[in-house]
């Protein structure tokens, strides 16, 4: 439906007589696309990440580790740490990035045994799971093998697990 809408608009713009009117119409159209993108990625998503980061930093204790279902997600967390909580450096762990066809994580058990031997709690940020863990292997493994404490819904989802 959306491509049809764009073709309809482009067809309508092509019927305009003056170039300055076409330019104005295209400019208004681009602004109408830019504002929702700005709102989504800076205001709405930024607030959610800032709040999730604040929850972790304020409740983080020695023996905790912050995990991410994909490595690139840790950069967003680090951005809000640097922006709002300078000097606080929680220990982090990046889970393996899974392809769309992967249904299990071969080294997950060994890695989790290593983390559980040295840490008490895991704060897991899960965002864009459709891309980095499409079958939910990481969360399913953690729920089955460790004590699930809490979860916040949204994007990112934040899980807390007791490892010991």
Q: Where are the domains of the chain?
A: 3-162
Q: Please state whether the predicted TM-score (pTM) of the whole model is above 0.85.
A: no
- The angle formed by the CA atoms of residues 161, 163 and 164, to the nearest 5 degrees, is 135
Percent of the chain predicted with pLDDT > 90:
10
Residue 66 or residue 133, greater confidence: 66
Question: Which of 1-5, 12-16, 68-72 is the most confident on average?
Answer: 68-72
Structure tokens of 22? 């076409």
Q: Are 129 and 69 in contact (CB under 8 A)?
A: yes
pLDDT at residue 60 tops 60: yes
pLDDT of residue 77: 85
Element (H, E) at 88: none
Mean pLDDT of all residues in 129-153:
81
pLDDT band per the 50, 70, 90 thresholds, residue 40: low
Query: Has residue 36 got a pLDDT over 80?
Result: no
Q: How far apart are CA 48 and CA 14, in angstroms?
A: 41
Q: Which pLDDT value is given to residue 119?
A: 94
Q: Which residue has the higher pLDDT, 45 or 123?
A: 123
């Amino acid at each position: 439906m959306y491509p049809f809408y764009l073709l309809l608009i482009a067809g309508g713009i092509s019927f305009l007589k003056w170039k300055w009117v076409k330019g104005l119409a295209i400019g208004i159209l681009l602004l109408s696309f830019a504002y929702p993108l700005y709102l989504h990625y800076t205001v709405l998503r930024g607030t959610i990440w800032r709040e999730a980061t604040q929850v972790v930093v304020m409740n983080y204790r020695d023996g905790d580790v912050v995990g991410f279902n994909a490595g690139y997600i840790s950069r967003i967390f680090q951005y809000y740490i640097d922006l709002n909580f300078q000097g606080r450096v929680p220990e982090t762990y990046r889970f393996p990035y899974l392809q769309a066809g992967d249904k299990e994580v071969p080294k997950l058990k060994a890695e989790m045994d290593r983390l559980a031997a040295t840490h008490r709690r895991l704060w897991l940020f899960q965002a864009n799971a459709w891309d980095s863990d499409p079958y939910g292997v990481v969360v399913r493994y953690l729920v089955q093998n460790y004590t699930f404490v809490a979860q916040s819904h949204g994007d990112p989802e934040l899980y807390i697990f007791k490892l010991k």
